[in-house]
Amino acid sequence: MIPSVLPTYSRAPLHFVKGEGSWLIEADGRRFLDLGAGIAVNALGHAHPGLVAALTEQATALWHVSNLYEIPQQQALADKLVAATFADTVFFTNSGTESCELAVKMARKYWHDKGAPEKTGIITFSGSFHGRSSAGIAAAGSEKMTKGFGPLLPGFTHLDWGDHDALEPAITGTTAAILIEPIQGEGGIRPLPDQCLKGLRALCDEKGILLILDEVQCGVGRTGRLFAHEWAGITPDIMMVAKGIGGGFPLGAVLATEEAASGMVAGTHGSTYGGNPLACAVGCAVMDHVADPDFLSDVNRRAGLLRQKLEGLIAAHPDIFENVRGTGLMLGLKCKIAPGDFVQAGYDAGVITVPAADNIVRLLPALTLTEDEIAEALTRLDAAATALA
Ligand SMILES: *Cc1c(COP(=O)(O)O)cnc(C)c1O
């Protein structure tokens, strides 16, 4: 008999009843150090007092009004994002995949309104992940995500990650945009080197096409900059955001330049919940923390410490680990064993990690992970590796 919850997930037999900062408490009382943070979602940890206050204060005032009316919390969050980034304008969604939908629509509408309606093509890359909507799976293009769900949304060209030579010939008179994650998350913490991101920006400028960045996982302070592309010193035309921006409350956004967004006039797009007062009140509180340069420099300091200790872990367990890669607090341990086995051993040792493709165990802790918690994390990761040896 089919379970009452549609069985699309394979779940670990863990049942958390409470969260505190970087800790999750199981129903049986066990305390787990959470290095997954809901897959890069709980940017400020669980039950952050500032976020709880923002949410409960808004909850007693007003939960929801339609986008038929003005929503001051939404305006405030948009103003914060515009002030802190390349963007001139923001549309709020509820998830990463909805941000992907709008990014694709916006790029196509841009060229339509410029008098080049043939420019509908989007170039994407192997190993990418852009969510589970029809546009998201078509953009990723992998068999794993698309098989059985055809006909797929047309217009996507998939190139091999890292195949520089394929890029220029793939751009034709019908190309609207390039869509890429600055650091692939699900694909296994695969960073696009700064030089390549710079090169992509230059190529888009030369060819006159749009650059769309998917910063759903790597954005919102995760890499030690507010957004990952800042490390390369370039800016996109359109950027997808979600995960960390709501700190655990469902919230996403598409950020864009005035030029790229020029086709999106009244009536062209909308969302019932997108930019809801509860979500935006929390989003404002998240931004007040993560956009603070002192907070980000402290993230970088603690990330450096974690990375240094992980190098020691790898050296101590050469039979389990190959290396560590990633930026800031978006780290991947390349494993010589099945990453799922390590994640399981981590559960037994009281530490939460997340598997990814390319034999990677992901560490995506709360950005507030303390030095003491880093030490505790290493003790537990070492215990997990020792148990597997
Ligand atoms: C998680 C993720 C998405 C999809 O976000 P949802 O909120 O699950 O729809 C899209 N892109 C990237 C890079 C992601 O990590």
DSSP string for 79-109: HHHHHHSS-SEEEEESSHHHHHHHHHHHHHH
CA distance 133 to 97: 6
Residue 341 exposed, middle or buried by CB count within 10 Å (0-12, 13-18, 19+): middle
Identify the residue whose C-alpha is closest to ligand 1 atom 5.
Answer: 96
CB half-sphere exposure, 308, CA atoms < 13 A: 9
What pairs with residue 326 in β-bridges?
A: 331
C-alpha 97 – ligand 1 centre gap (Å): 6
Atom from ligand 1 closest to the CA of residue 94: 7
Q: Shortest CA distance to 332 belongs to which of 317, 343, 347?
A: 343
CA distance 334 to 9: 24
C-alpha 312 – ligand 1 centre gap (Å): 31
- How many C-beta atoms lie closer than 10 Å to residue 62's C-beta? 13
C-alpha 218 – ligand 1 centre gap (Å): 10
Residue-wise pLDDT tens digits, 366-384: 999 999 999 999 999 999 9
C-alpha 6 – ligand 1 centre gap (Å): 20
Residue-wise pLDDT tens digits, 105-159: 999 999 999 999 999 999 999 999 999 999 999 999 999 999 999 999 999 999 9
C-alpha 96 – ligand 1 centre gap (Å): 4
Helices (H), the chain: 37-40, 49-61, 72-84, 96-113, 134-140, 143-146, 164-170, 194-207, 277-290, 293-316, 339-348, 371-388
In which band, very low, low, confident or very high, does the pLDDT at 223 lie, cut at 50, 70 and 90?
very high
Counting ligand 1 atoms within 8 A of each CB, the residue from 95, 97, 128 with the most, and so the one to mutate, is: 97
Residues 6+ apart with CB under 8 A from 298: none
C-alpha 93 – ligand 1 centre gap (Å): 12
**Please, what's the b/e burial string for 273-302 (b: 16 or more CB within 10 A of its CB; e: otherwise)?**
bbbbbbbbbbbbbbbebbbeeebbeebbeb
Give the amino acid at 350: G
Length of the chain (residues): 389
The pairing of strands 183-184 and 190-191 is: antiparallel
Identify the residue whose C-alpha is closest to ligand 1 atom 11.
Answer: 130
Atom from ligand 1 closest to the CA of residue 185: 15
Average model confidence (pLDDT) for the chain? 98
C-alpha 171 – ligand 1 centre gap (Å): 26
| CA 379 to chain CA mean position, Å | 27
In which band, very low, low, confident or very high, does the pLDDT at 338 lie, cut at 50, 70 and 90?
very high
Residue-wise pLDDT tens digits, 261-317: 999 999 999 999 999 999 999 999 999 999 999 999 999 999 999 999 999 999 999
Does pTM surpass 0.95? yes
3-state secondary structure of 31: strand
Identify the residue whose C-alpha is closest to ligand 1 atom 15.
Answer: 217
Give the per-residue pLDDT at 165.
92
Which residues line ligand 1 at a C-beta cut-off of 6 Å? 95-97, 129-131, 181, 185-186, 214, 216-217, 242-243
Residue-wise pLDDT tens digits, 241-250: 999 999 999 9
The pairing of strands 89-93 and 23-26 is: unpaired
Atom from ligand 1 closest to the CA of residue 214: 13
C-alpha 39 – ligand 1 centre gap (Å): 9
